[in-house]
Structure 1
């Protein structure tokens, strides 16, 4: 499995862990679950753990953009957790354009990311 999905209704949090290449099958499996979670919770928080990233299948890009456009206002906090050098700066640049509160963390600081999101 390339993408692992965990949701916690008590904290209104979704945690995604990416390892490898994100396929259309991964996207389809997760997008409907996350949409249902957002619809049920109203506003959610997100932890994105990126252990490794070998890219995305091209068929994921447009549906992903539409999902983000529709749901970004319903995601209050995002913690991006990765040791991949370019992930942090790209995430911060994207975060500057959004109303969502975003922080980046190293993989060793995953617990701190979870604490920040839980306290929000």
Structure 2
């Protein structure tokens, strides 16, 4: 699995590129980065680029669930950019687990996703 984190807009936007299958160790990088940015800036905005993403191993799915519970109110907006129908469904499934506004965008609409996640 590959996860790349890029901070933008002075750290208020976290761009997360995921590919392959997430494993528990990926959350050991992701969670501290989010927690640090929340301490520095308050609520965050996240852009998930899920190009070539294939899901989670069981231990990573548990870490993802725990992250959602622990950071329920720390994220303001989540733009999810993907290429598969199940990724679109995942955006809908995640809505009860966060206060964030969540929108799914097809990979072809990545520029629109960035505009939406950045808008005031």
Structure-1-length-normalised TM-score: 0.87
Q: Secondary structure at the match of 2:71?
A: helix
Unpaired segments ≥5 residues, structure 2? none
What's the counterpart of residue 76 of structure 2? Answer: 76
Structure 1 runs of 4+ with >4 Å offset: none
Cα displacement (A) at 1:60: 1.8
Instruction: Find the counterpart in structure 2 of residue 19 from structure 1.
Output: 19
> Given that residues 42 and 74 in structure 1 are in contact (C-alpha distance below 8 angstroms), is that contact kept between their aligned partners in structure 2?
yes
Q: Secondary structure at the match of 2:76?
A: strand
For structure 1, the residue ranges without an aligned partner over 5 or more in a row are none
Aligned CA distance change for structure 1 residues 102 and 55 (closer, same or farther; 3 Å): closer
Q: In structure 1, what is the equivalent of residue 85 of structure 2?
A: 85
- With over 3 angstroms needed to count, the CA separation of the structure-2 counterparts of 1:66 and 1:29, relative to structure 1, is same
Root mean square deviation of aligned Cα: 1.9
- Indicate the residue corresponding to 2:109 in structure 1: 109
Q: 1:25 to 1:94 in 2, by over 3 A?
A: closer
How far is 1:78 from its partner? Answer: 0.7
How many pairs align? 120
